[in-house]
């Protein structure tokens, strides 16, 4: 891997995109017409995740490959989710819906946990044999 940090962050962003799409799908919404609304959730979530991830050091590929560290990105998302809900409310000039913030935090934490568990597995498969 030439740049594992970039791959790790790209996987995080793809995961957050998938969580956003699943969130809209669970409400029976989808299609290109909803793209602006989806972006109104995805962009604040991405900005929040990148900010919290940088502050907490969650983008170190070596740390991310340690299964004992899997709790950290999930816990980080519990901070990024409410921040994303606040940024979304500011972007849409509306109030923060607490339940939305909770669901966004929990579903995003689960998504990040699953992706990072896959990352751990992929890193173990890429290690040279001893």
Q: How would residue 30 be classed by pLDDT, with cut points 50, 70 and 90?
A: low
Distance (Å, whole) CA 1 – CA 33: 37
pLDDT tier, 61 (very low <50, low <70, confident <90, very high otherwise): very high
Residue 121 lies in a domain: yes
130 occurs within a structural domain: no
When divided into structural domains, the chain yields a total of: 1
Comparison of pLDDT for 48 and 31, the residue scoring more = 48
Tell me what pLDDT residue 33 has.
63
Question: Global pTM?
Answer: 0.90
Of 42, 121, 106, 122, residue with least CA distance to 74: 106
Which single residue is written with the structure tokens 């919290």? 52
CA distances from 114 to 86, 91, 97, 129 (A): 25, 29, 26, 25
Q: Which residue has the tokens 């050091």?
A: 57
Contact yes or no for 105/45 (Cβ under 8 A): no
In a domain? residue 39 = yes
């Amino acid at each position: 891997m030439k740049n594992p940090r970039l791959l790790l962050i790209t996987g995080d962003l793809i995961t957050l995109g998938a969580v956003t799409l699943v969130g809209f799908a669970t409400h029976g919404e989808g299609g290109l017409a909803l793209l602006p609304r989806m972006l109104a959730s995805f962009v604040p979530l991405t900005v929040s995740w990148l900010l919290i991830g940088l502050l907490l050091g969650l983008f170190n590929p070596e740390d991310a490959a340690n299964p004992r560290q899997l709790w950290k990105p999930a816990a980080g998302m519990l901070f990024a989710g409410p921040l994303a809900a606040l940024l979304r409310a500011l972007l849409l000039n509306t109030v923060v819906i607490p339940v939305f913030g909770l669901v966004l935090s929990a579903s995003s934490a689960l998504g990040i946990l699953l992706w990072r568990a896959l990352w751990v597995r992929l890193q173990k498969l890429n290690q040279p044999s001893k």
